[in-house]
Homo-oligomer: A and B are copies of this chain.
Amino acid sequence: MTKHLTDFDKLMAFQRETEALAQIAGRLGWDQETMMPRGAAEQRGEEMSAIEGVLHARRTDGRLAEWLDRAEAPDPVAAAQLRLIRRSYARATKIPADLAQTLARVTSTAQGIWAAARAADKVADFLPTLAEVIALKREEAAALAQGGDLYDALMDDYEPGATAAVISAMFDRMRPRLVRLRAAVLEAAQPPKLNHRFGQDGQMRFARDLALAFGYDFDRGRLDLAVHPFSSGSGNDARITTRVVETDPFNCFYSTIHEVGHACYELGIDPDYLLTPLGNGVSMGVHESQSRIYENQLGRSPAFTGWMFRQMLDRFGDFGVASPEEFARIVNSVQPGFIRTEADEVHYNLHVMMRFDLERALIKGDLQVPDLEAAWNDRFLADFGVAVDRPAHGLLQDVHWSCGLFGYFPTYTLGNVYAGCLHQALRADIPTLDDQLAKGDTSAATGWLREKVQRHGGLHEPRAVISLACGFEPTEAPLLDYLDAKFGALYGL
């Protein structure tokens, strides 16, 4: 039987099982955040460590090197598969197996400790674990960087090809325009605050319908509650979560649309790539471009919020908002809030820039964990003009560091930048977009994104997939122009 299999075939068959096992590990992560009983946390740490050990063994399996040496790609798609397997193998063989397993176990446990510390609002409960995670991540980064920049080595995992130097330069170009826009908006007349309670069941029902409106396929996914909204899984099982705050339904609704963007990227990939290296979103930045364009450029457009306003009146009755115009301003209200995931489009990237600087310092060793809270709070006061009132609003707000996701935060802003580019190209291709969005119909836009970006999966490099979709090299300019125009109009600047 095996006589007729080429080395490429053998490689892909082996890789397919690895991808299936990686899906399993992802599903366990989903379970941990949504379904797992609390008392199972420690045992789950051992389970995650065991499956990570299996994955690491497969990703460093000696047969991979032999197959990769001998395999010939029959076509460009196969060549892309080989490229990604080569990259994964090169990366995995640099990390010692026991380090990989320890990281898996410690970060699994750390998430439970983070969640408890956040609930209790106690930084001290989290810092020892965080220090342990950082020490392990620095060890991992050193193994990967082999003399190069530690932070770049970590970031490469999430955004192949990106470097802190390039990101940092881009952030430096973005910051003045964002700060200027922020100041102008905060000086303008502010929309009223929502003053109404929206029950959990009603919010979840509308969240479900919003997911459907953005093309989410519930036959290949599901929507649940979690502390921190996330999406998880690939192929035919891409699940999303959201959270409910009774006084702030937009938290639930826009978290849902955001995660739908991520999930639709995975669900939109060419089915031929199922359980292959190409069968996943190509980078976190490109992933975020999908979630952000769904959430912001489409979901927070005045055209779409007009439809949403009527829907909410039908579902929740009069909730004290006078007109679609006022509703659009409330949805797009600009406030120096504490929480990144709840931040408006003007403040959001400032949150990211702050985390980027802090975590680079942590990984470099310039900032020590005991000094982190003060550094966070000082920087937040400087950038946002308000003092952090409690740790859950400060450094305990995000799950990322407990998971060991250092180098991940900048991909959020990169995603916004890519979303800005895609939005410019999308508007040029679909001049009637606002008419459709005003009817709650996102199908032309999401169809365009599926065709131009999502279906390719990992076929092109991150920047390439954006430039191929847009017809131009991505820069920060379209995002900044869009923000100036949108908030200028909403706030009469």
**B-binding residues in A (CB < 8 A):** 16-17, 20-21, 23-24, 27-28, 31, 35-40, 42-44, 46-47, 49-51, 53-54, 217-222, 235-237, 239, 274-275
- Taking a contact as CB atoms under 8 Å apart, the answer to whether B35 and A47 are in contact is no
From B17, B36, B44, B237, contact of A36 by CB (8 A)? B237
- Taking a contact as CB atoms under 8 Å apart, the answer to whether B49 and A20 are in contact is yes
- Taking a contact as CB atoms under 8 Å apart, the answer to whether B28 and A43 are in contact is no
List the B side residues contacting A219 at CB < 8 Å: 37-39
- Taking a contact as CB atoms under 8 Å apart, the answer to whether A37 and B220 are in contact is yes
- Taking a contact as CB atoms under 8 Å apart, the answer to whether A51 and B24 are in contact is yes
Known: A43-B237, A43-B275, A236-B40. A50 touches B222 (CB 8 A): no
- Taking a contact as CB atoms under 8 Å apart, the answer to whether B217 and A43 are in contact is no
Known: A236-B43, A275-B43. A50 touches B21 (CB 8 A): yes
Known: A24-B28, A43-B23, A54-B54. A37 touches B274 (CB 8 A): no
Report the separation of the CA atoms of residues A37 and B39 in the bound assembly, to the nearest whole angstrom. Answer: 26
Known: A16-B46, A40-B237. A27 touches B31 (CB 8 A): yes
Q: How far is the CB of A212 from chain B (nearest CB, A)?
A: 14
From B24, B46, B217, contact of A50 by CB (8 A)? B24
- Taking a contact as CB atoms under 8 Å apart, the answer to whether A44 and B275 are in contact is no
Chain B residue at minimal CB-CB distance from A53: B17
List the B side residues contacting A221 at CB < 8 Å: 37
Report the separation of the CA atoms of residues A28 and B28 in the bound assembly, to the nearest whole angstrom. Answer: 8
Chain B residue at minimal CB-CB distance from A58: B54
List the B side residues contacting A217 at CB < 8 Å: 39
Chain B residue at minimal CB-CB distance from A220: B39
Chain B residue at minimal CB-CB distance from A222: B37
Chain B residue at minimal CB-CB distance from A57: B54
Report the separation of the CA atoms of residues A46 and B49 in the bound assembly, to the nearest whole angstrom. Answer: 21
Report the separation of the CA atoms of residues A23 and B274 in the bound assembly, to the nearest whole angstrom. Answer: 26
Known: A20-B50, A21-B51, A23-B47. A35 touches B35 (CB 8 A): yes
List the B side residues contacting A220 at CB < 8 Å: 37, 39-40
List the B side residues contacting A35 at CB < 8 Å: 35, 222
List the B side residues contacting A236 at CB < 8 Å: 37, 39-40, 42-43
List the B side residues contacting A31 at CB < 8 Å: 27, 31
What are 30 A-B pairs with beta-carbon distances under 8 A? A17-B49, A17-B50, A20-B43, A20-B47, A20-B51, A21-B47, A21-B54, A23-B47, A24-B28, A24-B47, A27-B28, A27-B47, A31-B31, A35-B35, A35-B222, A37-B218, A37-B220, A37-B221, A37-B222, A37-B236, A37-B239, A38-B219, A39-B219, A39-B220, A40-B220, A43-B236, A43-B237, A43-B274, A44-B237, A54-B54
List the B side residues contacting A46 at CB < 8 Å: 16, 20, 275
List the B side residues contacting A21 at CB < 8 Å: 47, 50-51, 54
Chain B residue at minimal CB-CB distance from A234: B43
Chain B residue at minimal CB-CB distance from A51: B24
List the B side residues contacting A274 at CB < 8 Å: 43
Q: How far is the CB of A60 from chain B (nearest CB, A)?
A: 15
Q: How far is the CB of A5 from chain B (nearest CB, A)?
A: 14
List the B side residues contacting A17 at CB < 8 Å: 49-50, 53
Report the separation of the CA atoms of residues A35 and B28 in the bound assembly, to the nearest whole angstrom. Answer: 12
Chain B residue at minimal CB-CB distance from A20: B50
Report the separation of the CA atoms of residues A44 and B20 in the bound assembly, to the nearest whole angstrom. Answer: 8
Q: How far is the CB of A291 from chain B (nearest CB, A)?
A: 20
Q: How far is the CB of A135 from chain B (nearest CB, A)?
A: 20
Chain B residue at minimal CB-CB distance from A44: B237
Q: Which 10 A-B pairs have the closest CB atoms?
A: A40-B237, A20-B50, A39-B219, A39-B220, A17-B50, A20-B47, A43-B236, A40-B236, A20-B46, A43-B235
Report the separation of the CA atoms of residues A37 and B222 in the bound assembly, to the nearest whole angstrom. Answer: 7
Chain B residue at minimal CB-CB distance from A275: B46
Q: How far is the CB of A155 from chain B (nearest CB, A)?
A: 29
Report the separation of the CA atoms of residues A221 and B21 in the bound assembly, to the nearest whole angstrom. Answer: 24
Given A16-B46, A27-B28, A43-B237: 20 more A-B contacts, CB < 8 Å: A17-B49, A20-B43, A20-B46, A20-B49, A21-B47, A21-B50, A21-B54, A23-B43, A27-B31, A35-B222, A36-B237, A37-B219, A37-B222, A37-B239, A39-B236, A39-B237, A40-B235, A40-B237, A44-B237, A54-B54
List the B side residues contacting A53 at CB < 8 Å: 17
Known: A23-B47, A31-B27, A43-B23. A237 touches B37 (CB 8 A): yes
Q: How far is the CB of A130 from chain B (nearest CB, A)?
A: 24
Report the separation of the CA atoms of residues A299 and B37 in the bound assembly, to the nearest whole angstrom. Answer: 25
List the B side residues contacting A237 at CB < 8 Å: 36-37, 39-40, 43-44
